[in-house]
Amino acid sequence: MQHDPKHTKKVPGTLETMDVATECVNLGLNSVPETMLWTLHNRCSVASKPNGWFQDPKAVEIYKSIDYDYEKSFRKGDSSHAIRSSLFDEAVKDFWKESPNGTVVNFAEGLETQRYRLQDDMDENALWISIDLPDGMKAREKFIQPDEKHLHVGASVLDIDAWMPLVPKEKPVYFTAQGLFMYLEEEANKKLFQQMADKYPGATMQFDCIATWLSNQTMKGFKLTKDYTTPKMPFGVNRNNAKSLLETWVPGIEVEEIAWPTENVEGLLGWIMPIFMATPILKNYQPGFVLRVKFPSK
């Protein structure tokens, strides 16, 4: 096939232009599923740098294969989602060190390529379950196929009957959710946490939250760029209030904040973040943060 100039892309974070040998895929995503392209864009802004701290060849491969003007919608990529993904990578690695045969359940996985980054850490008896809305799963399966060790479920995470029966009862389980709970109503999140606590006592889940002020901003219509307005994110909670809120949802739940590695924040923000994080009043309004909870044992 002859090269088509419209399928020549510049990968963020490099000065190189890469030719795509085959026709790019237009995923036709919108609303919340489209945000998987936002996170992919930011991860690849770091992963495309040779010998960088975050390597993700599969993500870059997918990025090159999609017909989408990332910078028009999401502006120049930043390191935020690569940092977030690295925190979840480390969590799953630690889980598998303690429970090699354990099950990892990923909510709203989208085009996250964590399974490839961790493939050398996965025991032959471990299981990976990916759950996403039907449109999101359809997009994922254009590039990533399920197999006997990696199950795909095209359903809302709130549809517990679609995925809970797939989680082995006799093995440890670790739940993760990157970029999910802010898109759900608070009552829906509360109910899900309570259902999981009842079904998986003693299990652990890691997830990210956004601050209340940012949630409020998206409800008014938050324009990331002039061409892209983020979907509404109805659930937000400030850092200082998160633990007490979750304890009202599930009495006895253990809540731990995962430290954000400011050394990997790029640009001017990399200078500002350490000061911001060291100031208690400012830190409470941190736009996003990562928590790990352990459901009470029965």
Cα dihedral 242, 247, 248, 249, rounded to 10, equals: 90
Indicate if the pLDDT at residue 270 is higher than 80: no
pLDDT digits (tens, 9 = 90+) for 277-291: 677 777 777 888 999
> What pLDDT, on a 0 to 100 scale, did the predictor assign at position 274?
67
pLDDT in tens, 88-107: 999 999 999 999 999 999 99
Angle CA 193–194–197, to nearest 5: 85
pLDDT over threshold 80, residue 17 = no
Q: Residue 140, class by beta-carbon neighbours within 10 Å (0-12 exposed, 13-18 middle, 19+ buried)?
A: buried
What amino acid is encoded at 40 in this protein? L
* Per-residue model confidence as pLDDT tens digits over 139-157: 999 999 999 999 999 999 9
Q: Give the model's pLDDT for residue 71.
A: 96
Contact 252, 243 (CB under 8 A): no
- Structure-token pair, residue 9: 């892309």
Specify the pLDDT at position 170.
92
pLDDT category, 273, cuts 50, 70, 90?
low
Residue type for position 32:
V
Per DSSP, what are the bridge partners of residue 154? 132
Domains of the chain with CATH codes: 5-74 (no CATH), 80-294 (3.40.50.150)
What six digits make up the tokens of 140?
Answer: 């994922």
Single pTM value for the model: 0.89
